Structures are given as C-alpha cells and as structure tokens.
Amino acid sequence: MPKFAASLNLMFNEWPLLDRFAAARDAGFKAVEVQNPYGEKPDAIGKRLQDAGLELVLINTPRGAPEIGGRGIAAIPSQAAEFRRLFDTAFEYMQATGCRMIHVMAGTHPTASEAAFEASLRHAAAKLAPIGGKALLEPLNLYDNPGYFLGDFDMAARIIRQIDLPNVRLQYDFYHRQRRHGEIAASLEAMLPITAHVQFAGTPGRHEPDVGEVDYGYLFGLLDKLGYDGWVGAEYTPRGATLDGLGWFKRWG
C-alpha cells in the first residue's frame, strides 16, 4: 500500500496547527502536508516537524488577496511581481522545513492566462532547482472552485509538456479528477510519468476515503502496481473527530 501523508490544514483540526504535528505522529503518520503554513513562523513549523520526526512533503503558494480571487495569483498577469514576492516567502518555509514540493496556485480571475501561468511556473522552477524542489500544478474541479483557471487535467498536462522542465510536475488529486472528469484509473496510468504527488478524498463530500463512490482500495493497489513510490496526501475534511475516522488508515496504511 502507498505511503500516506496527513493534510494538517484539514485533518487534526481539533488541535492548534503547531500541535497537529505530534497528533499526526501519534496516529501513525510519517509525513504531512500543510497547504497554508503562513500563519506560523517557518522556524516554528520546522521545530515541530523535527520534534515529531515527520517529513513535510507539500505546501501551497500563498493565496493572494481576497479581492483578486483568493485562490492563488500565478496565472494573473497583473500579479507577476507580487507572485515573485510571495514565492520568496514560500521559499523561506521550504528552506526552514525541508519541504521540496510546492503547489503553484493558478488563481481565479477573468484576466488569468496560460502565458502568465507558464512564466510563473518557470520562475518557480528556477528558484527551486538548486534545492531539488518541484513546482506542482493541480487541476481543481470547477464545481467546488468555480472560475479557477486550471480546471482541466489535459490542460495541466499540456502546460507541463510545453514548459518541459524536470521539476515542473502534476499534482494528481483523485477527488478533483472524479468530480471534474471521472476515468481515474485510465488517466492515472497515462499521467503518472508527469506526476510527482497524489492526493485523495472520498467522493462526494470530500470526507474519508472509505465512504463514497470511489473504490480507493482498488486505486491504492493500482498505485502500487504502476510503481508509484511517492507520498499520497490525505486531503479530506473528517466527517467527525479526526481519530474516529482513521479506519481507512488502519486498513490501507
């Protein structure tokens, strides 16, 4: 079975963020994601990771101001300078925590463009290359994220191939794929060569993976069959208490 990472902005939210690292370790996780770490100082997060013996596998770029959509700014032409400034902030967190993958959030804005997004991704890739970091594209389903610029998996794959850099890769989220396109297994096999990180949540509802319309036992087995050896992020909102919903982790973890 795959190696699972807990998403600490969604799971273990019964604890303050800095206390979630120990809680995740105590539940059996060896790695975590923190999509939005920016409410705490980089060194504070680094210390909690070290104390808990956890690996931080993923953060997101800052979302940007609410008035420009609040879901990232990488694809918004007028925000190019602000993207670079905020990426420098994100890079500080990566250096302090040892995280080496970052989801570059495209944004939700009528002026968003593929050219601006590619420029931002190239900037991110160049900044990350000396530390062995990767810039990730994640297509988000448009039902939950109306107007988001990167709402299509084929578009993400095309951008990755156009940029043609080894550290610009796909973040493949089973939940978003099911909500947006379906056909998870076939597309996973086709896109795995450009995929650096995988995530999941139960569908519908974005809760635990052992309830819903997707057979996650099959998909986790397929990841093994296809030779995927990266982390698999549990990016879901628990239906109730986090610990009460970890039956799936005991079963597949």
Catalytic positions are 138, 235
CB neighbour list of residue 204: distance below 8 Å, 6 or more residues apart: 212, 213
Residue 75: closest CA among 47, 123, 48, 113: 113
Distance between CA 234 and CA 208 in Å, rounded? 8
- Bridge partners of 123? none
Alpha helices in 29-99 (DSSP H): 42-52, 80-97
Integer distance in angstroms from the first to the last C-alpha of the chain?
A: 7
Q: Give yes or no for a contact between 17 and 47, defined as CB atoms under 8 angstroms apart.
A: no
Residue 35: closest CA among 209, 177, 197: 197
DSSP class of residue 231 equals: E
Measured at the alpha carbon of residue 113, what is the angle toward residues 111 and 115, in degrees to the nearest 5? 140
Q: Give yes or no for a contact between 59 and 35, defined as CB atoms under 8 angstroms apart.
A: yes
Compute the residue count for the chain: 253
